Amino acid sequence: MLINLKKKSSLTEAQITDETIYKSRRQIIKALGLASISTPFAASAGLFDVFKSDSEDAVEFNDRRKVLSTTPNSAYQPDIIRTPEEKVLTYNNFYEFGTDKGAPFKNAQSFKFEPWTLEISGLVNNPFKMSHDDLLKNFPLEDRLYRFRCVEAWSMNIPWVGFPLAALIKKADPLGSARYVVFETLYDPEQMPGQKNPYVGGGIDYPYVEPKT
C-alpha cells in the first residue's frame, strides 16, 4: 500500500487565509475585545493601505534596476491584485538597514551592489564563486507572484524574479554527508547602518547565519 505523506510546510489553496478575513482583521480584533493590546501591531500595519495607490504616496528614488529577461511561471501566477510598487519599495523589513519599515528604502539609495559575489563552499563536489552577472547568465530567471502575510497583521501581493534554490544546489553537487544548507549574509557595516549598530539593526549579530551552527 502506498502512503503519501505531505510535508508540514505544504499548504493547499484552501488552507490559505481568505482575503476578506485578513482585510477585516481590525474589526475581528475589536469584536474580540483585543483592541487595546493590539495597538503596537495596528500602529505598524495602519501606516497605509498596501492595496491603495494615491498620488500623495508617490515616491522618488535612484532607480538603478536593470531590465531582466524572465519567463512567467504559470504555477505561481494567481489571479490577485498586485500591491502598488511604491508600497512594496517603501515598506520593508531589512534590519541591516534599520528596524523602521522605511529604513531600507531610505538607507539603500546609494548602496553599491557591484562587484557582488556569491560563494558556495563546504561539503560539495563543486565549490564555486559567481558574480551577480554570472548568476543571471547561468540560471534562467522566473517571474512569480507570491502572497506575503506578515505576523504584524499586514500583507502584500508581490512579484518576485529569481531562480529555484534547487538549481544552485544541483550545480554545487552536495556530498552524501551534507545535511544542511547554511546561509550567511553579506557583511558590509559601512553601507548597512544596522550592521554597524546593534540598536539600529534589531540586536542581531552580523553577519547573520541561518541555521546557527
Looking from the CA of 87 toward its CB, the CA atoms found within 13 Å total: 21
Assess whether pLDDT exceeds 60 at residue 33.
Answer: no
pLDDT band at 6; cut points 50, 70, 90:
low
Is 147 in a helix, a strand, or coil? Answer: strand
Backbone angles phi, psi at 161, to 5 degrees: -120, 130
How many residues in total does the chain contain? 213
For the cut 60, the answer to whether the pLDDT of residue 60 exceeds it is yes
Residue 36 pLDDT: 43
Over residues 71-98, the pLDDT tens digits come to 888 888 888 899 998 898 899 889 999 9
Give me the domains of the chain, ranges plus CATH numbers: 17-46 (no CATH), 51-175 (3.90.420.10)
Residue 65 has pLDDT above 90, yes or no: no
Contacts of 28 (CB under 8 A, 6+ apart): 21
Whether this prediction's pTM lies above 0.85 is answered by: no
What number is the average pLDDT over the span 55-63? 61
Instruction: Tell whether the model's pLDDT for residue 52 goes beyond 60.
Output: no
**E strand or H helix at 165:** helix 165-172
- Which residue carries 480584533 as its cell? 29
Give the model confidence (pLDDT) of 177-213 as tens digits. 999 999 999 899 999 999 998 888 888 989 989 887 6
| Residue 109 CA neighbour count, 13 Å, CB half | 10
Give the per-residue pLDDT at 18: 64
Average pLDDT over the chain reads: 79
